[in-house]
Amino acid sequence: MSTSLEEANKAVVERVFSTWNEQDKAGFADCHAEDVVIHGADDVNGLENLLTVQWGFFDAFSDTRLTLEECLAEGDLVSLRYTANGTHDGTFEGLAPTGTEVEFTAMGMVRVVDGKITDKWVQLDMLSLLAQLEAIESPVV
């Protein structure tokens, strides 16, 4: 059974998705700690850098919408699975706009401390996204 802390942490994640879909940058920023870190191949440190990276996605897919499919919390960690939809109407990873409507999935985990996200780990299905943009040949599974 979830605790009230876990429910509050899940609510922070739900607010991130809501503010993203509304393109409410200030609301999105308010969900994150000043020293937030996106962990990955190239760690992104700090709120301003996070906003530059994540909000930059709208430059390539201006109508991006996220749908939270699953959200599970344990302690200060929240695991999530979501779907992203959008139209490739700007340059992405060096690819000129194609006008292609894309849909891809992602999974991640965030740490929430005092109502703010302090750490993010996210894996996008880049293979599917790049195949939809015809940047790579679609893999056979």
CATH number at residue 56: 3.10.450.50
Model pLDDT, residue 42: 82
Instruction: Please report the pLDDT score of residue 1 as a whole number.
Output: 65
Q: Count Cβ atoms below 10 Å from residue 99 Cβ, excluding itself.
A: 7
3-state secondary structure of 60: helix
User: Is 140 among the domain residues?
Assistant: no
Q: Is 76 domain-assigned?
A: yes
CA–CA gap between residue 43 and residue 38 (Å, rounded): 6
Would 138 be classed as within a structural domain? no
100 found inside a domain: yes
Q: Give pTM, 2 decimals.
A: 0.92
Does residue 12 fall inside a structural domain? yes
Mean pLDDT per 10-residue segment, the chain (141 residues): 90 98 98 96 91 94 97 97 98 95 98 98 95 87 61
Report yes or no on 141 lying in a domain.
no
Q: Is residue 101 part of a domain?
A: yes
Whether residue 94 lies inside any domain: the answer is yes
The predicted pLDDT at position 141 comes to 61
Please give the residue range of the domain that contains residue 62: 4-132
Neighbours of 98 (CB within 10 A): 15
Domains in the chain, number:
1
